[in-house]
Structure 1
Amino acid sequence: MLHHSILDTLPEDLRRDALSSLQPLRFEHGKILFRAGDPCQGLPLVLNGSVKVQMTGLSGNRIVLYRMGADDVCTLSIGCLMTGDGFRAEAVVEDDAEVFMVPRGLFDRLMDQSADFRLGIMESYGRRLNDLMLLVEEVAFRRMDERLVHWLEARAGQGAITITHQELAVELGTAREVVSRLLKELERKGRLRLARGKIDFTGAFTE
């Protein structure tokens, strides 16, 4: 049975009522759940799969703000529902996903009638906001070569990762050419090996 923990915060009768009106929506890889400027129709609750939320700057470069996996709540949607503003980013399905879409009216009702649900939503919002503040700090105050090395070090234990230079540029919010140049410099230093759509780590990266 499909399940999302935020609904467990509700009183039994309210939870049963909410579940009776929710049907899981299935989205395939590449599906865009919302775009920048779209009005918020409701709160997505991810049941399984993976959805990334990313923003496109005036330069055309993109950056991943956060990802939502099973049991996650869409922080951007919470903000839009509370302010009435449209989205400032887009959400794209990375791995086929199933989602409960809580419509605005039901969201308002649950926030009004359940203090535990309200607290759970605000705690989720606060945790994600903290993550986004760390991202802002990284982008604003850390050099790109340092950010790239930090990103790679976090994944060096995998031995190899499948990712294109363009995809990595989106992760870091920079241009593909910048990522390619920095990766080639790391390869020259013997810290990794580059192949088409793949990065192989050497022992030097984890020392």
Structure 2
Amino acid sequence: MEKALLKEKFSNALDQDIINEILEVGSFKTFQKDDIIIDINQNLEYIPLLLSGNIKILREDSDGNELLIYFLEAGETCTMSLTCCMGTSKSKIRAVAESNSSIVLIPVANMQIWFHSNHSWRNFILESYQSRFNEMLETIDNLAFLKMDQRLYHYLLNKAELNGSKTIIVKHLDISEDLHTSRVVISRLLKQLENENKIKLSRNKIEIL
């Protein structure tokens, strides 16, 4: 199953030689929703390629509060973990399964060798850096320029697009943790969005209108 997913999700980006090498050296893992895949200060010996599901990438402040940086979808990798691997430093992020997910872990040594020896892998890594960089800029712009109600609505739209459904199953507390604010604020702003006919609220469920 995982081997078929690898070919399905990455064959457009990676050539068959690299896919064959990933099948040879990669370790396939599955994670349940809310499992921690990579933790802060973890030594990174592998990089993940996401085969199915979704992963959220978080930063943590000195008080232990988390802030959502971006989401990963199937066919993508986390370039913040790549950066740590290339610099042989510890992880600066936490990667958490947003839904049940499967990944393939690639040893750092292979990643570095392929970067110099394979054109498709090098392009994939560089394009991944660009995509994640753009997403981090968007996160910074949201923090700097958007009010919390705008950030919240943008967050909901992203989750709906990620899940391929206008109905989002999520708790107010989980939203507040992702957006680094209080549950009371989120509940109030969700009600405001509902009054503006942008969403419909149910218990642990939000529908984008």
Q: TM-score range by the shorter chain?
A: 0.7 to 0.9
Query: Which of residues 64, 87, 93 is equivalent to 1:89?
Result: 93
Indicate conservation of the 8 Å contact 1:61/1:174, yes or no.
no
Equivalence for 1:58: 62
Indicate conservation of the 8 Å contact 2:39/2:93, yes or no.
yes
Secondary structure of residue in 1 paired with 2:26: coil
Equivalence for 2:27: 23
Letter in 1 for 2:172: H
Equivalence for 2:147: 143
Instruction: Extract unaligned runs of 5+ from structure 2.
Output: none
Equivalence for 1:32: 36
* 1:66-77 equivalences in 2 (<5 Å): 66-77=70-81
Query: Which of residues 162, 166, 170 is equivalent to 2:173?
Result: 166
Indicate conservation of the 8 Å contact 2:42/2:90, yes or no.
yes
Equivalence for 2:14: 9
Overall identity of the aligned pairs, in %: 27
Distance 1:20 1:147 in 2: 43
Shift of 1:191: 5.6
Shift of 1:99: 1.2
Query: What is the total number of aligned residue pairs between the two structures?
Result: 201
Pair 150,119 (structure 1): closer, same or farther in 2 beyond 3 Å: closer
Q: Does 1:113 align with 2:120?
A: no
Calculate the TM-score normalised by the size of structure 1.
0.81
Equivalence for 2:53: 49
Distance 1:53 1:99 in 2: 15
Distance 1:23 1:153 in 2: 33
Calculate the TM-score normalised by the size of structure 2.
0.80
Q: Does 1:182 align with 2:182?
A: no
Instruction: Extract unaligned runs of 5+ from structure 1.
Output: none
Shift of 1:158: 5.8
Distance 2:12 2:168 in 1: 35
* 1:113-132 equivalences in 2 (<5 Å): 113-132=117-136
Pair 158,42 (structure 1): closer, same or farther in 2 beyond 3 Å: closer
Shift of 1:100: 1.0
Secondary structure of residue in 2 paired with 1:24: strand
1:12-46: per-residue Cα shift (whole Å, max 9, x none)?
A: 3x543442222322222232111111121111011
More displaced stretch, 1-10 vs 120-129: 1-10
More displaced stretch, 60-69 vs 101-110: 60-69
Indicate conservation of the 8 Å contact 1:62/1:174, yes or no.
no
Pair 142,2 (structure 1): closer, same or farther in 2 beyond 3 Å: closer
Distance 2:122 2:207 in 1: 45
Give the root-mean-square deviation of aligned CA atoms. 2.9
Secondary structure of residue in 1 paired with 2:95: strand
Distance 2:155 2:193 in 1: 13
Equivalence for 1:100: 104
Shift of 1:67: 1.9
Secondary structure of residue in 2 paired with 1:73: coil
Secondary structure of residue in 2 paired with 1:95: coil
Pair 133,27 (structure 1): closer, same or farther in 2 beyond 3 Å: same
Distance 2:193 2:62 in 1: 29
Indicate conservation of the 8 Å contact 2:25/2:107, yes or no.
no
